[in-house]
Amino acid sequence: MKKPISNKAARRYSVRGRVQGVGYRAFVQHAAGGLGVRGWARNCDDGSVEVYAIGAPEQLSELAGYLWKGPRAADVRHVDESEAGVEEWSDFQIRY
């Protein structure tokens, strides 16, 4: 069940390693949906995945753990995290 977002914060993550072509964005979308986090994930030209997430600080912290894990075929080597401005998103989307 999705948790309502109160005390909204936003983070931008850059995930590096083997994270493209392994279902990473769908994994993040599923994890975010389960946590009630909104935002998006997209592949970048340099082989990384960028994630923009909006939620309560505890939701974002939990999502960060999932970002480090990834799906079975992924090999996450590094996750950079930075603060971001809060935008309005109704759900979590995969961007192309």
9 vs 1, more confident: 9
What would the pLDDT profile of 35-48 be if each residue is shown by its tens digit? 999 999 999 999 99
CA distance 38 to 45: 23
Task: Calculate the CA 89 to chain-centre distance.
Answer: 13
The whole-model pTM stands at 0.92
pLDDT computed for residue 6 by the predictor? 55
pLDDT tens per residue, range 12-40: 999 999 999 999 999 999 999 999 999 99
pLDDT of residue 1: 45
pLDDT of 87 above 70: yes
Strands across the sheet with 92-95, in order?
A: 75-83, 9-18, 49-55, 38-43, 92-95
Q: Would you name the residues annotated as active-site residues? A: 25, 43
- pLDDT tens-digit profile of 56-81? 999 999 999 999 999 999 999 999 99
Question: Hey, what domains does the chain have and what are their CATH numbers?
Answer: 9-95 (3.30.70.100)
Q: What percent of the chain has pLDDT over 90?
A: 91
